[in-house]
Amino acid sequence: MTVRIQLLTEPFDAADTLRTFTDALPEAGGVVSFLGQVRAGGGPGGDVEALELRHYEPLTLPAMQALGERVMGRWTLDGLVIVHRSGTMLPGEPIVLVAAAARHRRDAFAAADFTMDHLKSESWFWKREKAAGAWRWIEPREQDIEDLARWL
Residue range 16-53, pLDDT digits in tens: 999 999 999 999 999 999 999 998 876 555 689 999 99
8 Å CB contact between 64 and 53 = no
Q: Please state the pTM of the whole predicted model.
A: 0.92
Task: Supply the CATH number for residue 113's domain.
Answer: 3.90.1170.40
Instruction: Supply the range of the domain harboring residue 19.
Output: 2-149
Residue 108's pLDDT is 97
Structural domains of the chain, count: 1
Residue 7's DSSP bridge partners are 84
Instruction: Give the pLDDT band (50/70/90) at residue 146.
Output: confident
Distance CA 108, CA 29 (A): 9
Residue range 92-143, pLDDT digits in tens: 999 999 999 999 999 999 999 999 999 987 768 999 999 999 999 988 888 8
The set of residues, in sequence order, having a beta carbon less than 8 Å from that of 34 and lying 6+ positions away, is 96, 97, 98, 99, 112, 116
Pairing mode, strands 125-131 and 42-43: unpaired
The set of residues, in sequence order, having a beta carbon less than 8 Å from that of 31 and lying 6+ positions away, is 18, 21, 22, 25, 99, 100, 101, 108
φ, ψ (nearest 5 deg) of residue 54: -115, 155
Who wins on pLDDT, 117 or 57?
Answer: 117
